[in-house]
Amino acid sequence: MFNLAEILTLLIGCLLALVFIDGIRRALRIRRSKLKVDLINPSSEESQDFEEEWQGYEDKKVSEVLSSEDDHEENLEIATAVNLNIIHLHDESDSVFSESSLSQALVFYNYRLEENGIFTILDSDNAPSFKILNGKNPGFFSESIKSNDIALVLDPQNLTNPIESFELFVEVSQSIQETFQCQILDEDRNFMTKQMIEHMKNQFHEYQRQFLASAS
C-alpha cells in the first residue's frame, strides 16, 4: 500500500506531466495555425513570398490586399489568424509559370482567371474552392509576369463542398507538378510526401469538424 507521502508525490507528478503535455499541444497548435513568411532567397527583395501580403481573400479583394503597403503589418496579423492550407510548386531552373502556361495546364479543370491575375479553381457547383497565386511578388500573373514559384491556397472556411475542394486542391497540385516536372512543397517549403498529404487531409477534416461544431 502507498503511504500518504507517496500518493501526494504521484499526484504532483501526474499534474506536472499534464501541464507539460498541454504546453506541447499549445505550441504545436500555434505552429500549425501560423502562416510562415519564408523566402526562397532571403537576400533578394524580388523573391519575397506572397504570404507577406496575404490578408484573407474571403473578406477583401485579393487585388486590394496585394497592392496595399500601408496596412502591411495589420494584414499579416489577419493572415496568421486564418488556418489556410498551402501547397507550393517550385521550379529551380526556369520561370515556367505564366498566365498562358497555367491556363493550358488547367484546361481539364473548372476555373476562372480573375481580373487581378489570380486563378480561382471552382468545384462541381461552380463555387470557389481555392486560389492559385504567383508565389513571388507581386503575387499575381499578367501577360508580362512569369514566375518559378506558385502557391495553391485553400481557405477551409465557407466552402460549399469542403471535402471535394480539398481533394481537388491536392489533385490539381499533383497535376501541375507532373505537367511542369517541378517540386511540390508544403507551406514550410519542405518536399511534400504522401504521408504529409494524408496528415494535411486529417488536419483539414478536424478543422472542418471544429468549425461546423462552433458554427452550430
CA distances to 42, 94, 150, 175, 179 from 38, rounded to whole Å, are 8, 20, 13, 24, 25
Cis amide bond preceding 128, omega within 30: no
Mean pLDDT of the chain: 76
Judge whether 99 and 113 are in contact, CB under 8 Å: yes
Q: What is the pLDDT of residue 119?
A: 97
Is the pLDDT score of 196 beyond 60? yes
pLDDT greater at residue 16 or residue 180: 180
Least confident range of 19-28, 129-138, 190-199, 203-212: 19-28
Judge whether 46 and 136 are in contact, CB under 8 Å: yes
33 pLDDT band, cuts 50/70/90, is: very low
Is the pLDDT score of 21 beyond 60? yes
- Nearest to residue 34, comparing CAs of 94, 76, 2? 76
| Average of per-residue pLDDT across 170-193 | 94
- Give percent of the chain above pLDDT 90: 42
23 pLDDT band, cuts 50/70/90, is: low
Q: What is the Rg, in whole angstroms, of the alpha carbon atoms belonging to the chain?
A: 21
Is the pLDDT score of 215 beyond 80? no
- Nearest to residue 76, comparing CAs of 117, 29, 37, 25? 37
Q: What is the pLDDT of residue 41?
A: 39
Which amino acid does the sequence have at 97? Answer: F
Q: What is the pLDDT of residue 185?
A: 95
pLDDT greater at residue 97 or residue 204: 97
19 pLDDT band, cuts 50/70/90, is: low
| Average of per-residue pLDDT across 110-133 | 95
- Nearest to residue 32, comparing CAs of 71, 75, 82? 82
Q: What is the pLDDT of residue 1?
A: 59
pTM above 0.75, yes or no: no
